[in-house]
Amino acid sequence: MRVAIVGATGAVGQELMKLLYERSFPLTSLELYASARSEGKEIVFDNHTLKTKTLPEDGNLNADVVFSSAGTRISRDHAWDWCDNGAVVIDNTSAWRMDDRCPLVIPEINGENALGHSGIIANPNCSTIIALMALAPLHKEFGLKRATIATYQAVSGAGTAGIEELRNQSYAFLRGEEYPPKTFQHPIAFNLFSHDSELGKDGYNAEERKLSLESRKILGVPELMISATCIRVPVFRAHSEAIHAEFSVPVTANEVTKVLTSAPGVTLIDDPTNNTFPMPLVASDKNDVIVGRIRPDASKPGGIALLVTGDQIRKGAALNAEQIAEVLLSEGAIG
Amino acid sequence: MRVAIVGATGAVGQELMKLLYERSFPLTSLELYASARSEGKEIVFDNHTLKTKTLPEDGNLNADVVFSSAGTRISRDHAWDWCDNGAVVIDNTSAWRMDDRCPLVIPEINGENALGHSGIIANPNCSTIIALMALAPLHKEFGLKRATIATYQAVSGAGTAGIEELRNQSYAFLRGEEYPPKTFQHPIAFNLFSHDSELGKDGYNAEERKLSLESRKILGVPELMISATCIRVPVFRAHSEAIHAEFSVPVTANEVTKVLTSAPGVTLIDDPTNNTFPMPLVASDKNDVIVGRIRPDASKPGGIALLVTGDQIRKGAALNAEQIAEVLLSEGAIG
């Protein structure tokens, strides 16, 4: 399998390389594309030293599968050209998620949809993936109708620059030094702020809207009602989400626990006796999304509340994309 | 006015001293009580050097007003003795909040209730105060029926030890050193965790239950439905809360904004154009609770969503207690 990574030097691109190696993805070639700034950068993969290139003008990436995580504009401008050159594009940006031609896929939930692609398969937004890993199995059993969600989002959502800013700014803060925000609009060290994406006229920001619209598309429920408050917190790489959910039928905490115990890609950490529940430090570098605090919604009979945490770079982005490629591979749809 | 502070060396006790000075509370004497460990510690107040004492056995604190923030056990064991010695006790612990004999007071909301005390007036829990500063004025207009709340709680809720642990552990983390949790059960640096209070059989922890039960008592609505997820985040001293609320009548974002614009003790920071909303770093050391992200609940027609942030030590504890004393004073109920 000939693979190309567009955005190879970014946090998601780097994680993808780790995952292709870890999961023994059958590679015949690996092409790394990055911006002109990083051109020629040497990156070691499986004892081979590879050099990053800039994107060719003809759109031929010499690949059967292209993973794209170099930003929405790059994907919007080039993805169909890459397809015209014979590649299937697994796109990690928001460019094509809501496009009817492009399936929006979480393999554990709607992996079969990947096979119906017309060239581009979209990877959902990180907070959508992490919420739906818990909500989709429950939807299948009980019919999800409404959810209110509050997120606690790691800085890795803003890439390596976000990670560096949290690190450097925290260090400066503790030393009593100034470190003005650059990547983020507001200080992130020992602070939090409403997600740094554009606000719409409805008062919701783009991140919150993605959670709602992408969930509808993935679950195939156009009337699904989701209201989210997306907040950036000083955490490095795992997102957490506090969710209240209502279903077509009343559900109990036991029923929810039972469903999620056997849900693929989900680990339960739900130990009231030891006050031990999902935490970002524990979810970091893990493949599974961690779920806990499963309890009846005290404000709504039959509803439930829970807490999920998942590695934003891994299941929230790179792992999910790699798993989509695995689906195509196992179905003989590429290669 | 003879004032005593029990727990004078703690974060709340120290803030109380600042506030008594700042707000020119009419003092004739100030007695500082602390644990045996801190006995004799010198603390400067308004150019006088005061020494902390341990609590006298006879319960006579030589005070007209006692502010108690030395922990629930101390308040439970001694508060009525202090009353028997002629003091009004303004209690910052959870000892008496749900006791029918003790009014539970947020001056801007139900200050008049302070006058009906039998010796002890309870100060609500920090997350309750901060949520209700926004929800109570809305309840008055629209009748609050249900709220789901996710909190982002600062470490100051665990006192100076919590603040020191966040500082030291963050510094160690950035230097690649170990700093095992002591005050908290789990690491707080660049992490978050479900609130470190006891879990009940209903799956809710004590902090979440306080939000629900105290809100019912303060608003006088026994049937009020609140479900909270309380989370500790690596922030020093201001709590944030993402709230979805439903009322007896459908409400609009404009109506909510209008009510909160004239609500006492509330500052609106709600600027979608500049993506600027309530943040803990801005709320820290402020008296007002900051409200923003006011928008229709996208998951429930007629409901609303909003974000509040308030200084946990100030309005969440010490300021509210001091304001209760001001109410008593202005009504001639003490002194």
Question: Which pLDDT score, from 0 to 100, does residue A237 have?
Answer: 96
Q: What is the pLDDT of residues A18-48, one digit of tens each?
A: 999 999 999 999 999 999 999 999 999 999 9
CB–CB of B92/B69 below 8 Å?
yes
Question: Which pLDDT score, from 0 to 100, does residue A335 have?
Answer: 62
The mean pLDDT of A111-129, rounded to a whole number, is 97
| A188 near B CB under 8 A | no
Across the interface, whether the CB atoms of A152 and B231 are under 8 A apart is answered yes
| B327 near A CB under 8 A | no
Q: What are residue A122's phi and psi, to 5 degrees?
A: -95, 140
Q: Is A244 a catalytic residue?
A: no
For chain A, how are helix, strand and coil distributed in percent, rounded to 5? Answer: 35, 25, 40
Question: Which pLDDT score, from 0 to 100, does residue A320 have?
Answer: 98
Mutate to test the interface with B, among A177, A194, A207 (most CBs of B within 10 A): A194
Contacts of B147 in chain A (CB under 8 A): 299
Residue A74 distance to chain B (closest CA, Å):
25
Across the interface, whether the CB atoms of A190 and B293 are under 8 A apart is answered no
Q: What is the dihedral of CA B172, B178, B184, B190, to 10 degrees?
A: 50
Mutate to test the interface with B, among A179, A205, A227, A239 (most CBs of B within 10 A): A227
Nearest CA in chain B to A252: B202
Residues in chain A: 335
C-alpha torsion sign, points A299, A303, A307, A310: negative
Confidence of residue B335 (pLDDT cuts 50, 70, 90): low
Here the ipTM equals 0.97
Contacts of A212 in chain B (CB under 8 A): 298
Question: Which pLDDT score, from 0 to 100, does residue B331 have?
Answer: 85
Residue B234 distance to chain A (closest CA, Å):
6
For chain B, how are helix, strand and coil distributed in percent, rounded to 5? Answer: 35, 25, 40
Contacts of A229 in chain B (CB under 8 A): 150, 242, 293, 305, 307
Q: What is the pLDDT of residues B267-318, one digit of tens each?
A: 999 999 999 999 999 999 999 999 999 999 999 999 999 999 999 999 999 9
CB–CB of B295/B272 below 8 Å?
no
Question: Which pLDDT score, from 0 to 100, does residue A334 have?
Answer: 75
Contacts of B294 in chain A (CB under 8 A): 203
Question: Which pLDDT score, from 0 to 100, does residue A144 have?
Answer: 98
Strands (E), chain A: 2-6, 29-33, 42-45, 48-51, 65-68, 88-91, 120-122, 144-152, 193-194, 225-229, 231-232, 238-247, 266-268, 289-296, 304-311
Mutate to test the interface with A, among B127, B146, B166, B190 (most CBs of A within 10 A): B190
Contacts of B194 in chain A (CB under 8 A): 275, 277, 292-293, 307
Residue A332 distance to chain B (closest CA, Å):
40
The mean pLDDT of B8-19, rounded to a whole number, is 97
Across the interface, whether the CB atoms of A150 and B146 are under 8 A apart is answered no
Contacts of B190 in chain A (CB under 8 A): 166, 170, 234-236, 280-281
Mutate to test the interface with A, among B186, B192, B271 (most CBs of A within 10 A): B192
Question: Which pLDDT score, from 0 to 100, does residue B333 have?
Answer: 77
* Both structure tokens of A47: 């004892």
Pairing of strands A88-91, A120-122: parallel
Nearest CA in chain A to B272: A199
The mean pLDDT of B54-75, rounded to a whole number, is 96
**Rounded percentage of chain B residues whose pLDDT exceeds 70:** 100
Burial per residue of B126-139, b for 16 or more beta-carbon CB atoms within 10 angstroms, e otherwise: bbbbbbbbbbbbbb
Question: Which pLDDT score, from 0 to 100, does residue B226 have?
Answer: 98
Q: What is the pLDDT of residues B85-118, one digit of tens each?
A: 999 999 999 999 999 999 999 999 999 999 999 9
| B298 near A CB under 8 A | yes
Q: Rg of chain A's alpha carbons, rounded to an integer?
A: 20
Angstrom distance (rounded) from CA B129 to CA B134: 9
Confidence of residue A219 (pLDDT cuts 50, 70, 90): very high
Angstrom distance (rounded) from CA A185 to CA B292: 17
**Rounded percentage of chain B residues whose pLDDT exceeds 90:** 99
**Across the interface, which of B203, B205, B235 has its CB nearest the CB of A191?**
B235
| A14 near B CB under 8 A | no
**Angle at CA of residue A301, ends A297 and A305, nearest 5°:** 15
Q: What are residue A6's phi and psi, to 5 degrees?
A: -100, 120
* Both structure tokens of A156: 């890795």
| A252 near B CB under 8 A | no
Nearest CA in chain A to B229: A242
Q: Give the distance from CA B269 to its chain's centroid.
A: 21
C-alpha torsion sign, points B76, B78, B82, B87: negative
**CB within 8 Å of chain A, chain B residues 53-112:** none
Q: What is the dihedral of CA B125, B131, B136, B137, to 10 degrees?
A: 140
